[in-house]
Amino acid sequence: MARIDGRRNDELRPVKMTTNYIKNASGSVLIEVGNTRVICTATVEDKVPPFLKGTGKGWLTAEYGMIPAATQVRKAREVTRGRPEGRTQEIQRLIGRALRSVINTELLGERTIWIDCDVIQADGGTRTSSITGGFVALVYCIKSLLDQGLIEKSPVTSYAAAVSIGKVNDEILLDLCYDEDVVATVDMNLVMTEKNELVEIQGTAEGSPFTLQDLNVLLELGQKGINQLIQYQMEALGELNCLVGQGK
């Protein structure tokens, strides 16, 4: 089948990462995946949640949101409703879990790293782009902590990236744009490391159930996409790649 934007079934959308995008953040990146654009920042707070006080361990958490004009129809700011939507809470928990999986919090000291992901244009894959870009912002933040002498060793254990995969018109596609995502009969988000280790699988049949054979194809295609995204992360990090893998 011909995809909406002419891509092959196993092809990512064009990916671009602009680092040091926000002046005041310890780490920041604008990630563009096709027409999806997310600003990811990493900042440090010198305290931890109550359950970690006195342990010497740090924490990483995330917040996620969309500006009103990110979608075709204006999306009201969640602050006007008094609380985040359920979808927003789910996504920010996913981002936090994904990035905590590749950081040794014992090396952070009692401080929290906040990963803030602000979607400025949405065309599918905003949560996966947030994880992929958030990782780059995180490593830049770690470099800032090292430069200030606040930590002695990088706590980052592995790369982590995420991608969407889905089944549309009985064909399995990599990195769905919005128009593909809304008609997909299977919708999956995959988070993995550069060692092909699984961090999280979110997979749902939107119409009829899917088979184990479909699952294997979805995972293989997702793995291929994530390996490519990690190469983009490496290019964005440049000399900071030496900080990845030290936290073991």
CB 226 within 8 A of CB 192: yes
Residues 190, 200: Cα–Cα separation, whole Å = 6
Residue 248 CA: distances (Å) to CA of 160, 221, 229, 240 = 15, 28, 23, 17
Q: Tell me if 126 is assigned to a ligand binding site.
A: yes
Closest Cα to residue 103, out of 160, 146, 54?
160
Q: Tell me if 87 is assigned to a ligand binding site.
A: yes
CB 134 within 8 A of CB 156: no
Detail the DSSP E strand segments found in 78-185.
112-121, 161-168, 171-174
Helix (H, G, I), strand (E, B) or coil at 42: strand
Tokens 């995946």, located at residue = 33
Detail the DSSP E strand segments found in 22-181.
27-33, 36-45, 59-66, 112-121, 161-168, 171-174
Q: Tell me if 37 is assigned to a ligand binding site.
A: no
- Provide the 10 A C-beta neighbour count for residue 59: 21
Binding-site positions for phosphate read: 87, 125-127
Binding residues: 87, 125-127
